[in-house]
């Protein structure tokens, strides 16, 4: 296995979709979805600075920013999701979501997908099978964790040619729950992203979540949507990615983009579920600066029509990659929605064998060409792009053109 320069790039400043190193080199950022509306967006920076000069912390007291932001966030949600909790990271949000599910259902167990990543707290590593490998063989699946296959039409158990794959994959979840039940275990929650990010940008088949949510509820569990990566219009279709599957979760978790890079996260749920938690307190969650920043992010998304832009720029990326695909034996699949785009690299299109080493080399060569792109997925062979939402079609054309040239060099 070849290993390329492992030292991360040192970045000293950033603006919009660009990063700058110590020597003033400019890099096009295709990966930082936490800087949702663009790195250091002036409206967000001003909101944060002004709030920091006024009131930074108000633990144990009410503050206007928190109540105003809570109202605004909830107004973007389906009516049933009417209560929010504020925290500081996606991991904290998912941890609270699991606690809420357990308190409400009085059950213990959780079903997750086999390519999932939900965070780095102890409880969440247990339900992030995509990271099991990295943790080594000493990591043993816990009894309360049940793993269902990711609905991955390119590589999974059921492929593009299956009829009604959404139902087939939902049936897999039901089988997992029934198996757990037969050994005396009860399901508190099913957790997944509404489309999978770290697992390699996997778009689920139609109706998958509708069928799955129905089964989970019938079996006494609640449904958690991890929107840590996919929220706030990134799919270009709706504010929330769960809307692309036409479902309403019981609990939604939000992270990265909510604060445009400022540590902030939220859990939004129903009143019935929220009422089960008892005391909830956090020192920094929902502090006035976070909420002021969060409001500014929502302003920018609206004022700059970033959701519509994600749709059209995402299409530029997808169309661009699809247009070069026939001339590349290593481009197995191009997939995505809005500004979540993945290109799966394979040894050859027939075998679909993952080309993990090529992905690593390509990411490295792109960086040399001042484009930052990730490679991810279980086999680390999917080139992943989740850029700030101010990414343009010109940026997209540039990325495709450089990708085309560099991949050709690797293929030859």
Where does residue 76 rank: exposed (0-12), middle (13-18), buried (19+ CB within 10 A)? middle
Strands ordered across the beta sheet of 374-376 = 331-337, 340-345, 382-385, 374-376
The C-alpha atoms of residue 366 and residue 317 are separated, in whole angstroms, by: 16
Task: Give me the least distance between CB of 346 and ligand PMP, in Å please.
Answer: 24
Pick the closest to residue 290 from 269, 265, 267, 268 (CA basis): 265
Residue 72-91 contact track with ligand PMP, rule CB under 6 A, x = bound: -----------------xxx
Stretch that binds ligand PMP, among 10-18, 35-43, 223-231, 303-311 (CB under 6 A): 223-231
User: Computed over its alpha carbons, how large is the radius of gyration of the chain?
Assistant: 21
Stretch that binds ligand PMP, among 225-233, 244-252, 296-304, 338-346 (CB under 6 A): 225-233
> Smaller CB distance to ligand PMP: residue 201 or 228?
228
Q: Please write down the HEC assignment for all residues of 182-246.
A: HCCCCEEEEEECCCECCCCCECCCCCHHHHHHHHHHHCCCEEEEECCCCCCCCCCCCCCHHHHHC
Task: Give me the least distance between CB of 14 and ligand PMP, in Å please.
Answer: 18
Please report whether residue 195 would count as binding ligand PMP according to CB under 6 A. no
Residue labelled with tokens 């139902």: 167
Rule CB under 6 A: choose which of 156, 255, 338, 377 binds ligand PMP: 255
Task: Give me the least distance between CB of 46 and ligand PMP, in Å please.
Answer: 24
- Burial string for 148-162 (b: 16+ CB within 10 Å, else e) reads bbbbbbbbbebeeee
Q: Which two tokens stand for residue 262?
A: 């400022």
> Smaller CB distance to ligand PMP: residue 229 or 244?
229
Task: Give me the least distance between CB of 258 and ligand PMP, in Å please.
Answer: 10
Please report whether residue 229 would count as binding ligand PMP according to CB under 6 A. yes
Stretch that binds ligand PMP, among 43-51, 183-191, 221-229, 326-334 (CB under 6 A): 221-229
Residue 116-155 contact track with ligand PMP, rule CB under 6 A, x = bound: -xxxx-----------------------------------
Pick the closest to residue 322 from 332, 312, 311 (CA basis): 332
Stretch that binds ligand PMP, among 17-25, 178-186, 226-234, 389-397 (CB under 6 A): 226-234
Task: Give me the least distance between CB of 230 and ligand PMP, in Å please.
Answer: 8
Please give the size of the binding site for ligand PMP, defined by CB under 6 A.
15
Task: Give me the least distance between CB of 195 and ligand PMP, in Å please.
Answer: 10
The C-alpha atoms of residue 346 and residue 410 are separated, in whole angstroms, by: 12
Stretch that binds ligand PMP, among 38-46, 115-123, 244-252, 318-326 (CB under 6 A): 115-123
Task: Give me the least distance between CB of 256 and ligand PMP, in Å please.
Answer: 6
Q: Which two tokens stand for residue 221?
A: 């569990």
Task: Give me the least distance between CB of 88 and ligand PMP, in Å please.
Answer: 8
> Smaller CB distance to ligand PMP: residue 229 or 235?
229
2-to-90, 286, 344, 412 alpha-carbon distances in Å: 33, 44, 19, 17
Q: Which two tokens stand for residue 250?
A: 């019981």
Beta strand pairing call for 11-15 and 251-254: unpaired
The C-alpha atoms of residue 225 and residue 122 are separated, in whole angstroms, by: 19
The C-alpha atoms of residue 353 and residue 394 are separated, in whole angstroms, by: 32
> Smaller CB distance to ligand PMP: residue 172 or 226?
226
> Smaller CB distance to ligand PMP: residue 17 or 229?
229
The C-alpha atoms of residue 61 and residue 52 are separated, in whole angstroms, by: 17
Where does residue 164 rank: exposed (0-12), middle (13-18), buried (19+ CB within 10 A)? middle
Task: Give me the least distance between CB of 341 and ligand PMP, in Å please.
Answer: 16
DSSP state, 87? E
Rule CB under 6 A: choose which of 153, 192, 228, 396 binds ligand PMP: 228
Please report whether residue 193 would count as binding ligand PMP according to CB under 6 A. yes
Please report whether residue 35 would count as binding ligand PMP according to CB under 6 A. no
Q: Can you give the binding site for ligand PMP, defined by CB under 6 A? A: 89-91, 94, 117-120, 193, 197-198, 226, 228-229, 255
């Amino acid at each position: 296995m070849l290993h390329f320069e492992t030292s991360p790039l040192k970045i000293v400043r950033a603006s919009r979709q660009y990063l700058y190193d110590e020597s003033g080199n400019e890099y096009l950022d295709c990966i930082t979805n936490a800087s949702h509306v663009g790195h250091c967006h002036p409206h967000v920076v001003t909101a944060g600075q002004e709030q920091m000069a006024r009131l930074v912390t108000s633990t144990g007291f009410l503050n206007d920013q928190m109540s105003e932001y809570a109202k605004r966030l909830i107004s973007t949600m389906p009516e049933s999701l009417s209560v929010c909790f504020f925290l500081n990271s996606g991991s904290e949000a998912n941890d609270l979501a699991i606690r809420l599910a357990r308190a409400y259902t009085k059950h213990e167990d959780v079903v997750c997908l086999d390519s999932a990543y939900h965070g780095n707290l102890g409880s969440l590593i247990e339900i992030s099978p995509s990271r099991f490998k990295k943790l080594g063989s000493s990591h043993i699946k816990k009894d309360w964790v049940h793993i269902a296959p990711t609905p991955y039409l390119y590589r999974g158990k059921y492929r593009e040619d299956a009829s009604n794959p959404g139902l087939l994959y939902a049936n897999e979840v039901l089988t997992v729950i029934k198996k757990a039940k037969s050994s005396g275990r009860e399901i508190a929650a099913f957790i997944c992203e509404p489309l999978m990010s770290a697992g390699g940008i996997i778009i689920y088949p139609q109706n998958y979540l509708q069928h799955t949510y129905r089964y989970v509820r019938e079996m006494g569990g609640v449904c958690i949507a991890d929107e840590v990566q996919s929220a706030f219009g990134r799919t270009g279709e709706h504010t929330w990615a769960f809307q692309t599957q036409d479902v309403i979760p019981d609990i939604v978790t939000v992270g990265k983009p909510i604060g445009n890079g400022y540590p902030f996260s939220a859990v939004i749920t129903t009143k019935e579920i929220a009422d089960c938690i008892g005391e909830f307190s956090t020192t920094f969650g929902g502090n006035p600066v976070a909420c002021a920043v969060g409001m500014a992010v929502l302003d920018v998304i609206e004022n700059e029509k970033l959701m519509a832009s994600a749709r059209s720029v995402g299409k530029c990326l997808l169309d661009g990659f699809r247009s070069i695909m026939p001339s590349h034996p290593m481009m197995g699949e191009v997939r995505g929605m809005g500004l979540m785009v993945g290109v799966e690299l394979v040894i050859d299109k027939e075998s679909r064998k993952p080309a993990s080493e090529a992905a690593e080399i390509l990411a490295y060569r792109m960086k040399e060409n001042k484009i930052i792109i990730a490679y991810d997925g279980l086999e680390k062979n999917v080139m992943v792009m989740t850029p700030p939402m101010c990414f343009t079609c010109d940026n997209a054309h540039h990325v495709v053109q450089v990708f085309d040239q560099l991949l050709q060099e690797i293929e030859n």
